[in-house]
Amino acid sequence: MKTSIQKEIPLIAIVAAPFIYLASVWQDLPQNVPVHWDVNGEIDRYGDKLELVLIPFLLPLLVYAIFSLVPFIDPKGKIQQMGNKYFMLKAAMTIFMSVLAMIIIYAVKNESLYNPNYIVLLIGILILILGNYFKTLRANYFIGIRTPWTLENETVWKATHKLAGKIWFAGGLVIILCSILLDKKLNFNIFIGIIILISLTPVIYSFIKYKQLSHS
C-alpha cells in the first residue's frame, strides 16, 4: 500500500477543518465555557476555553496520525495488503472525528447541545460503516476484534469478523433509527445496550469458536 500525496491532501484538509473553525470562533468565546453535557443535553460542567484546543488534537489529528502510522509498524504487513480498503476506513474515521469535533465546538460556542441524538446518530453511522468493513479485515494486531483466540487462529479471526460485521451493521442501523424516532433518554439507554451487545458478542463467539476448533 503506497501513500499518495494526492489522496492524503483532502484528509489533511478534513483534519485541519476543526482547527480552523475553533480559531474562527476563539475570540467570541468567554474564558469559561461548557465542556460537558448530560444525556438530556444539559450543561453539567464548565472549564477554561483552553481545554477546547485538545478537541481537534485528540479527535481528527490523533486518529489520522494513528491510521497513517499503523501500516508502517504492522509486523506481518497485513494492513498493507488491505490496500485501498484501509485508506477508505482511515478516511471514514478521520471524517467522523472531524465532524464530531466541529459539533462539539459548535455546541460550546452556542452553549447548547440541542439534541444529543445527533451525536448518537453519527456514532450509529460509523458503527454501520465499520460493520461493513469487518469482513475485509485481515488478521492483525491493531484493528478489529483482537482477542487471544482470533490472533491465534486465522479461521477464528475470519469467522468472528464475519459475525461481527453483521452484528455491527445491524446495531448501527438500529442506533440510527432509534436516534430519529425516540426521545433522548430512551435512545441513550438503547444505545448503551447495543454497544455492550456488539462489543461482547464477538469476543464470546471467538472463544467458543476457538474451543470448537481445538476439540475437532
Count of positions (residues) in the chain? 216
CA nearest neighbour of 190 among 80, 116, 112, 85: 116
Query: What pLDDT score does 93 carry?
Result: 96
Angle at 104 between CA 102 and CA 110, to 5 degrees: 100
The separation between CA 152 and the C-alpha centre of its own chain, rounded to angstroms, equals 26
43-79, pLDDT tens digit by residue? Answer: 888 999 999 999 999 999 999 999 999 998 988 888 8
**Residue 214: what residue type?**
S
Does 40 or 34 have the greater pLDDT score?
Answer: 34
Domain boundaries, the chain: 1-114, 116-216
List all residues 6 or more positions away from 171 whose beta carbon is below 8 Å from its beta carbon: 127, 128, 131, 194, 195, 197, 198
Q: Answer yes or no: are the C-beta atoms of 14 and 95 closer than 8 Å.
A: yes
188-205, pLDDT tens digit by residue? Answer: 999 999 999 999 999 999
List all residues 6 or more positions away from 45 whose beta carbon is below 8 Å from its beta carbon: 34, 35, 36
For residue 208, CA distances in Å to 44, 146, 155, 156, 170 come to 43, 15, 13, 9, 22
- The x, y and z cell numbers of residue 132, run together, are 461493513
Calculate what percentage of the chain has a pLDDT beyond 90.
75
pLDDT of residue 175 exceeding 70: yes
* Least confident piece of the model among 92-101, 108-117, 125-134, 191-200: 108-117
**Residue 215: what residue type?**
H
